[in-house]
Amino acid sequence: MRAQGLLGPIFFFIGSFLVASGIGLLTLPSVTEYSMRHLVLVALILVLVGITVMIMSAFSLLPRLIVVQSKEDIYQFLNENERMLLELLVERGELSHADIMKITGFSRAKVSRILKKLEHMRLIIQVRQGKKKVARVRKEVARVLKS
């Protein structure tokens, strides 16, 4: 976990600890109401900072949108096998997993893994037709790759 991801829980823990210890301090005769207010205020600020940092770090983990304008924009994120499979789908239109295995010689697991990655990248669509799965390139991606 990155250091940024640890800051939120640290602030939250410290703030919560101060709130809990502040409640325990209420029973002591030497603690004035004024100092107690400051302790609670600092504790609440730390808790809020901790929650804010945790929320901000969660947003940094979200995938970023990539605008595709050329083949190079797509190909920079793919290895050789993934490029080959994507080009095959552009060329042939729609292929089942079994057809891809026959054409490429890849194993079922490798075809499935590559297609899952391409689908996750929103480059292809996979649909089930009866018992077999069929993959095809998204129209907007095919337009870019054919140009």
What is the pLDDT at residue 54? 74
The whole-number pLDDT of residue 111 equals: 94
The 10s digit of each residue's pLDDT in 22-71 is: 555 555 556 566 676 777 777 777 777 777 777 777 776 666 656 667 78
Q: Which domain holds residue 130?
A: 71-146
The secondary structure of residue 136, as a DSSP letter, is E
Q: What pLDDT score was predicted for residue 6?
A: 66
Residue 66 counted as domain residue: no
Point out the least confidently predicted range of 52-56, 86-90, 137-141: 52-56
Considering the domain architecture, whether residues 111 and 54 belong to the same structural domain is answered as: no
Q: How confident is the model at residue 121 (pLDDT cuts 50, 70, 90)?
A: confident
Same structural domain for residues 87 and 141?
A: yes
Does residue 139 share a domain with residue 104?
A: yes
Residues 29 and 82 placed together within one structural domain of the fold: no
Q: Where are the beta strands (DSSP E) in the chain?
A: 94-96, 124-129, 132-137
Query: Do 51 and 7 share a structural domain?
Result: yes
For 43, the token pair is: 């504790």
Which pLDDT score, from 0 to 100, does residue 65 have? 58
pTM of this prediction?
0.55
Q: How many angstroms from the chain centroid is the CA of residue 1?
A: 14
From CA 132, how far away is CA 102, in angstroms rounded? 14
Question: Considering the domain boundaries, does residue 65 fall inside one?
Answer: no
Count of structural domains within the chain: 2
